Each structure stands twice: as C-alpha cells, then as structure tokens.
Amino acid sequence: KFFADHFLFMPAEHGFVIGPTGSGKTNKNYNLVNWLKHTEVILWISASKDNDIAPLFYMGKPVNVIIPKYASIDISLEGKPIDNLTITEVSEPSDVFYAIKNDHINILEVRNAFYERDALLDWMIRLFQILAEWTRHGQMPRFRPDKKSGGKSKIAMFIDESQWLIAGSKVTNDPKRAKATEIISENALEIRTYGWRIIISSQGFTNVPPIIRENMACAFLCSNADIKEPEKLRNACHPKDPHIMPASKFHRSQFKFVNREGQFSPIFKPVTAPQFPKDPEDREKASRIRIQYGRTYHDQPPKEAEAETECLPQLGRFSHMAIPPEKQTPEFTRWQTGEIED
C-alpha cells in the first residue's frame, strides 16, 4: 500500500532504479511496467542489447516496436513472427508520438538505428524538444490510458540503462554528448506537469547528471546500491539500525522503495521482485526469441530513397499514410536494343 500510494497512484511521479551491473535493474523495470500498464500508456526506450525487450512480449498486451525509417529489426521465435507484434516506421522524431498505441506496450528502438553517434544524439535531442514543446502548447496527441487509473498520469516513459542517452560527467566528458544530455534533461523534466512520468535506470547515482537525479523523486535501490548522498538514499543503503538490512546484502531479485520524503519500504527487509516473464513457459519462450538489428541505418538512406524524398515532401504526422511512387521499369525501343540494324 505504501508503494501504491507514494508511486503508482501519485500523478507523474518520476522514478530512479539504481544498482550496479548484475543487480537486476532491468527486471525491476519489467515489474514497474507490469504494475503501470493498467493505468498508463507505456513507452520503453530500449538500450538495444542482450534481448532485453523480449520479456515485454509477455506482459499480456500487444507490442508496438517503433523504429526510424530505413533502419531495420527482425524479431522472431524459432524463425516465426511473434504474435501480436507491430513494427511501425517513423520518418522523423515528431512521428513517434503519433505512432504510440494506447493499448500496446510501445518500444522505441533507436540506439542501433543510426550509423553515426552524433546523428543519434541529434535525433533524440529533437525528440525531447518536441515532447516538451507539444505538451507545453497542448499539441500532443491525446493518449487514453485505462479509465480505471483515477490519476493524471498519461504515459510512463522508461529509459533502460539511461547513461547511453543522459550521462553525467562521471561517464563522459565528450562535449557533444554532454550538450545532448543537458538539452534532453532540461526538456525531459518539463513534462511532469503534463502527466508524463519518466523512469530511468543507471548503474550508479552519479552516472546521470545532477539535474536528472535531483528530480527523480522516488528511488528503487537494488542489490549493492552504494549511495553516499543525498542523505535519504544513504540511510536506505547504509542504515545505522542493525535490524535494517543494508543494500549490500540484498539478493539480485530484491529492492527497496524510497519515496520523495526519504521514507523507505519495506523497512527491515527488501521486497522480492518476481522474474519476468512470470510464467515458466513464457520465460522459456522469451529466452528463444531472436532479435536482430539490420545493417541499414536511418542516417544512411538507400539511393532509391532520394527519388522518394523528392516526390514526398515532409508530411509530418501524415508521412506514414503517403504512398511512395511505383518503381518505373525503363522502356527501350527496338532501335535502342539493337534488334533493328541501321
């Protein structure tokens, strides 16, 4: 009840899942998706590694994978298509928000969709700029989470292993990446007022910039989370009371929830998050799902795309409705083919 009152039913409350490699952060995110899928539209920004999105196909909802145009992804189970899977191509960042499906688990696959890292960062910067602008000006498409929600949250945005996108100075000093982090962070935090919640995961508290970690009101402390500041998280990681289990003794399946006031629950021992998928048969299937990213990239469109771009102007949210021109087969006369000699 403490967790439900202070997070699940708290409108647009951000969350920060913290723990080193192997502490089960991604599985904690699966559990959060499972809790929030009934009341909020889910948007999972994938880290594009280790088949991490496979368990999301077993959440009891269809899945919508959103990927930039010209990039490709193949998802199959023993060579066969996955049931209830839709792959939606988008031409530009603004199209993402029209591609989101209310009754689906939405997965944004961008990390492997670009050949150049700078092109990826520019695309994500624009995505978050549009997100902030459209929510501020009331231009965002209407999302309809389950009517039973009773709260104001509309979308829960998960950024798994967030340091690839928003990294603190401890992770990188690259000027381009630092600038992208600054712009994305500034725009990301603005959207809480408009019913969007962000849930990020990171290997360490200082792996993300201060502006982000200071605004992640709630925390989920995983096994071996080691946080010295702020005090509210230090007390949960390294309690002075000998009867309270420290994070260093958590099992990788366990975690402790800390609310914005620094109160944590459970107090004495952590709670265990079930492994996803929960059903052993589904878990076995998820382990056999094959996810392969093609060697085609959004920032390296094929040559035939040039003619298509000339014929199809930037149509924004209507671009997915456009019908590209048919490929024309060259026609030659018998004179040109040499069938008739001079």
Give the count of beta carbons closer than 10 Å to the beta carbon of residue 234: 15
How much is the pLDDT for 107? 97
In the block, which residue shows the tokens 């368990």? 55
d(CA 46, CA 53): 7
State the Cα–Cα distance between residues 319 and 338, nearest whole angstrom. 43
The residue-averaged pLDDT of 67-73 equals 94
Q: Quote the pTM value.
A: 0.84
Name the least confident of 58-67, 138-147, 157-166, 203-212: 138-147
- Do residues 231 and 266 make contact, with C-beta atoms less than 8 angstroms apart? no
Taking a C-beta distance cutoff of 8 angstroms, is the pair 89, 308 a contact?
Answer: no
Region of poorest pLDDT, from 42-46, 91-95, 143-147: 143-147
Evaluate whether 239 touches 246 at the Cβ level (below 8 Å): yes
* Average pLDDT rounded to a whole number, residues 295-299: 93
> Are 23 and 269 in contact, with CB atoms under 8 Å apart?
no
Q: Which of 4-13, 188-197, 287-296 has the lowest mean pLDDT?
A: 188-197
Residues 256 and 247 sit within 8 Å (Cβ to Cβ): yes
Q: Provide the token pair at 53.
A: 């999105």
pLDDT for position 166: 79
Is residue 85 within 8 A of residue 62, CB to CB? The reply is yes
What single string gives the DSSP state of each residue in 182-200?
HHHHHHHHHGGGGTEEEEE
- At residue 291 the predicted structure's pLDDT band, cuts being 50, 70 and 90, is very high
Residue-wise pLDDT for 74-125, tens only, equals: 999 988 988 899 999 999 999 999 999 999 999 999 999 999 999 999 999 9
Q: At what angle do helices 117-136 and 175-190 cross, to 10 degrees?
A: 20
What are the structure tokens assigned to 324, written together?
């590209």
Predicted confidence band of residue 329 (pLDDT cuts 50, 70, 90):
very low
